C-alpha cells in the first residue's frame, strides 16, 4: 500500500456514525468515541487477572486544549488543561484494569444517595466484586458508606485517607493540641478502623486520617508509623510510573480538520 493510499484511508476513517451522534450525545458526552473506549477497556479487563491489591484514583490528566465540554483546568498538573480519567490499576504490575472518563457532574450518572467517588469506585471495581481483593483510594473517594458498601455488598475491603471535615470523624480524632508528634490514635467499629497520626517530621502539627476495613489491629511498624499508613503508601505509588508511561508514549495525530464518516467513504 502506498503512502498516498494510506493517508487517504486514514482521513476517511471514522469510529462513529455522525448521523446518530446528536441523539446519543444528549445522554452521553463521550458518544463520538464511546464504542472505541468500551472496546479498549473491555480488552484490558479480559486479558489480565489482577493481584490482590487494586488502586483507584483520578490523577491522570490527558493534555488537551481543544474544544470539549468536559475539558478541565487543574493548575497543579504539568499540562494544566486536559481530560480527566478515573482509573483502576493493579498495584503489583501497574497494569490498567479499567477506567472511566470524568465527564463533569452533569455527565456522570451518580445515584442520589451517593457521591461521585462512591459511584466511581464501585463501578470500576465491579469486575472484581466478591473476590476479597482490597482497593486503595485517596480522600476524594473515601467515605463510611463506600467502605460498608464494598465490604457487605461487594466482597472487597478498602483502605483510604479521609478528609477531616467528614461528619463521621469524631472530634477527638482530629484534636492535635495535646498530641505529641509521631503518635497515633486508633478508633474501632465492627467494620472499620480509623487511625489519626501526627508525623514527627512535620514543622507544624498535621493530622493524617486514614480508614480501613482491611486492618483490625493497632499495629505500628519499625518506622514508627501505623501499619495502615505504610500499606497505603505502598499501594498508591502505582500512579507515578503509569503517568510517566502515558505521557512519554502519547501519539497525538497531525490531522486538524474533521474526518469523513466511514459509512460514506468508499
Q: Which residue in 231, 223, 156, 149 sits closest to 195, CA to CA?
A: 231
Three-state DSSP class for 45?
helix
Fill in the DSSP letter of residue 226. Answer: B
Model confidence at 10: pLDDT above 60: yes
Give me the count of residues in the chain.
266
Quickly state the pLDDT bin for 251 (edges 50, 70, 90): low
Three-state DSSP class for 223?
coil
Give per-residue burial for 155-164: e unless 16+ CB within 10 Å, then b. Answer: ebbbbbbbee
CA–CA dist 7, 1 (Å, integer): 10
Measure the CA angle with vertex 212, ends 210 and 215; round to 5°.
120
Residue 200 cell numbers, joined: 514527627
CA–CA dist 211, 134 (Å, integer): 13
User: What is the tens place of the pLDDT at every residue in 168-200?
Assistant: 899 889 888 888 888 999 999 999 999 999 988
User: What is the tens place of the pLDDT at every residue in 117-155?
Assistant: 999 999 999 999 999 999 999 999 999 999 999 999 999
Annotated domain spans of the chain: 32-248
| Cβ neighbours for 215, distance < 8 A, ≥ 6 positions apart | 159, 193, 227, 228, 231
Amino acid at each position: 500500500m502506498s503512502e498516498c493510499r494510506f493517508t487517504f484511508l486514514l482521513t476517511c476513517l471514522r469510529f462513529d456514525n455522525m448521523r446518530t451522534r446528536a441523539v446519543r450525545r444528549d445522554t452521553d458526552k463521550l458518544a463520538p468515541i464511546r464504542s472505541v473506549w468500551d472496546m479498549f477497556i473491555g480488552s484490558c479487563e479480559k486479558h489480565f487477572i489482577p493481584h490482590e491489591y487494586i488502586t483507584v484514583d483520578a490523577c491522570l490528566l490527558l493534555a488537551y486544549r481543544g474544544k470539549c465540554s468536559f475539558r478541565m483546568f487543574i493548575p497543579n498538573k504539568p499540562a494544566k488543561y486536559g481530560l480527566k480519567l478515573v482509573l483502576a490499576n493493579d498495584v503489583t504490575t501497574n497494569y490498567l484494569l479499567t477506567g472511566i472518563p470524568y465527564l463533569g457532574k452533569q455527565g456522570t450518572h451518580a445515584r442520589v444517595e451517593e457521591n461521585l467517588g462512591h459511584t466511581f469506585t464501585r463501578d470500576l471495581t465491579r469486575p472484581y466484586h466478591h473476590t476479597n481483593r482490597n482497593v486503595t483510594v485517596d480522600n476524594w473517594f473515601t467515605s463510611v458508606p463506600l467502605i460498608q458498601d464494598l465490604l457487605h455488598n461487594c466482597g472487597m475491603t478498602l483502605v483510604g485517607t479521609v478528609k477531616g471535615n467528614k461528619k463521621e470523624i469524631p472530634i477527638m480524632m482530629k484534636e492535635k493540641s495535646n498530641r505529641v508528634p509521631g503518635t497515633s490514635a486508633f478508633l474501632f467499629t465492627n467494620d472499620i478502623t480509623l487511625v489519626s497520626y501526627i508525623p514527627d517530621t512535620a514543622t507544624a502539627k498535621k493530622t493524617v486520617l486514614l480508614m480501613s476495613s482491611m486492618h483490625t489491629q493497632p499495629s505500628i511498624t519499625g518506622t514508627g508509623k501505623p501499619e495502615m499508613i505504610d500499606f497505603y503508601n505502598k499501594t498508591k505509588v502505582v500512579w507515578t510510573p503509569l503517568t510517566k508511561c502515558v505521557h512519554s508514549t502519547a501519539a497525538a495525530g497531525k490531522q486538524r480538520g474533521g474526518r469523513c464518516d466511514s459509512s460514506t467513504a468508499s
